[in-house]
Structure 1
């Protein structure tokens, strides 16, 4: 049985959020989506900071649809942490227990236990302005967990950190989330944060869920362009005709999978081979293309190709030099059928 069971309907002007969410005990679910998809609106609705226009919200069997924020057993770590600047780390963490009715001494004892758990005992008397980004994030996490929340909400918890702090803090956060007995919802636009921290992913676009499942399922079978870009795949939709998928413009891609009816076909940029002329032997998936853009992508180069289909291809710098690549260069692209994945669109 899910600890959190919600359908969040929120209307704000022309935007409408309608998202169903379930999170089990001890489970971390990541809510991913582009800017403006409704992720933060969903988080604020769960926290009671944005009223629902419809739907339902149940936490541990209790209806919270109209419950004020202070009466929900919900802890929140905001993107910018929002620590109280006039309070030291210990008093920031003690704030929640005090609001719940704990005495000053008991609240301080709770705060000191949590600061010890996040490795900040020595910084208990420090004000937020004298903490690093990673330290402030851990204080914010301790403050959220000190109220023993049934639901923990994390809003882009690593976005404010530099690359080095992000790596260290992500590992630390994963340890704490694994030990949290309640439900956790992580809002992020970073696929790496979601893949490392979450047990399950829910993808939101334009206020609705477009795909959900574990990381392996979503990365293997993306269902929208946003998800395909997120996992680094070229994605096309067409009509399955056995081993062939017929796309717009009557262009056909061949796969080893058999699919009939409305279908997707996907392949990674690394599967696209580039040739200066039409390759010999006429492999099944070949087409003329024009290079429109070239950028560094890790140790390789990522090129964008226009033609009967628009694709991304990854090649080595050596191959780029050999092909004399530049925008406007005419090429032939090829993808082996064995490198593609075809699957039903419904």
Structure 2
């Protein structure tokens, strides 16, 4: 897949430095994930032309948009880039139709032609009947679709989506996510989705790029990232317990000296991961088949879907998911000491 976007973004803001390379192919949707302060919005603003890079370059469709070493900088309004902002930023005094027609009009398209294009896009996103309504007369999901239509109206080579579903309630978010997935599948250019929501990323994106502290820490397709997280943030994102260890055969020794039995033999520095559902809790040390066991203190209990998530502190800090019935049987409460157990066959180890 040839790269539509080929960029190296270096932005210095006080003590914070963003330094990442981003490439996106034609028709590809890439999700940029990371915790607050990781640099996601800085990257989006740099690509949009709202923030110049201090070093590196932004090349889009073969055209250099930003390269400070050569004195090149194309301003935002001249870039073939469409942006859907988190709060949509629709013009409150314009109808949905005129909001969508605004971009083509700015690019020199006549009023009639711009409105015809806007009407076609509103038809595409299922909102032609709301064409005359102002933003305040639209629901959150409708406003999001108008913002998407407005971004697509300029035939963007690059479409930027900044937390596009964050402002929606849970039900509207579910419906709008499915609609957005369909529209992105029809987008011939490159798409970058900036989000902190792993579900949005997993559903909408072909590839995930995860940044922390202004650096890329992991990238790949969803299956690769969920199977082999490489940082605590990524592990939490995909719902796994993760540890760095030194492996010798079927044994992995953690930094504190605690040993975990592994299903497969490995040598050297490794990551060891297991799901919270793999952690069983017992009132006393269990006997029977070989497994990893350790005493742990309950530090918290929260509802997690249909189960309870129990936070454990001990030789191995971990999260365990158990049923409400199991919790009631064990009479669990914060401060209580229990025994945690994980079968070796439930662990997943891979080179660090």
Assess if the C-alpha contact under 8 Å between 1:283 and 1:334 holds in 2: no
CA-to-aligned-CA distance 1:313-340 (integer Å, 9 cap, x gap):
0001111111111111111111001100
- The residue aligned with 2:69 is none
Q: Secondary structure at the match of 1:108?
A: helix
**How far off its partner does 1:67 sit?**
0.9
Say whether residues 1:283 and 2:283 are aligned partners: no
TM-score (norm 1): 0.99
Assess if the C-alpha contact under 8 Å between 1:257 and 1:343 holds in 2: no
Work out which of the residue numbers 194, 200, 203 in structure 1 matches 2:207: 200
Say whether residues 1:256 and 2:257 are aligned partners: no
Say whether residues 1:91 and 2:92 are aligned partners: no
**Deviates most, 290-299 or 176-185:** 290-299
Separation of aligned partners in 2, 1:193 and 1:258: 36
Separation of aligned partners in 2, 1:102 and 1:156: 30
Separation of aligned partners in 1, 2:151 and 2:271: 42
Structure 2 counterparts to residues 282-321 of structure 1, below 5 A:
283-321=290-328
Structure 2 counterparts to residues 259-270 of structure 1, below 5 A:
259-270=266-277
Q: Secondary structure at the match of 1:21?
A: strand
- The residue aligned with 1:2 is 3
**How far off its partner does 1:292 sit?**
1.3
Say whether residues 1:172 and 2:179 are aligned partners: yes
**How far off its partner does 1:257 sit?**
2.2
CA-to-aligned-CA distance 1:295-325 (integer Å, 9 cap, x gap):
1111111101111010000001111111111
Structure 2 counterparts to residues 102-251 of structure 1, below 5 A:
102-251=109-258
Aligned residues: CA RMSD: 0.8
Assess if the C-alpha contact under 8 Å between 1:8 and 1:56 holds in 2: yes
Say whether residues 1:329 and 2:336 are aligned partners: yes
TM-score (norm 2): 0.97
Q: Secondary structure at the match of 1:159?
A: coil
- The residue aligned with 2:65 is 64
| Gapped regions of structure 1 (runs ≥ 5) | none
**How far off its partner does 1:74 sit?**
0.3
- The residue aligned with 1:19 is 20
CA-to-aligned-CA distance 1:271-291 (integer Å, 9 cap, x gap):
001111111136331111111
CA-to-aligned-CA distance 1:59-115 (integer Å, 9 cap, x gap):
111111011111110000000000001111010000000011001111111101101
CA-to-aligned-CA distance 1:239-278 (integer Å, 9 cap, x gap):
1112211101210111112221111000000000111111
Q: Secondary structure at the match of 1:64?
A: strand
Separation of aligned partners in 1, 2:330 and 2:91: 58
CA-to-aligned-CA distance 1:173-202 (integer Å, 9 cap, x gap):
000000000000000000000000000000
Task: List, as ranges, runs of 4+ consecutive aligned residues in structure 1 with deviation greater than 3 Å.
Answer: none
Separation of aligned partners in 1, 2:134 and 2:140: 13
Q: Secondary structure at the match of 1:3?
A: strand
Count of aligned pairs = 345
| Gapped regions of structure 2 (runs ≥ 5) | 67-72
Q: Secondary structure at the match of 2:287?
A: coil
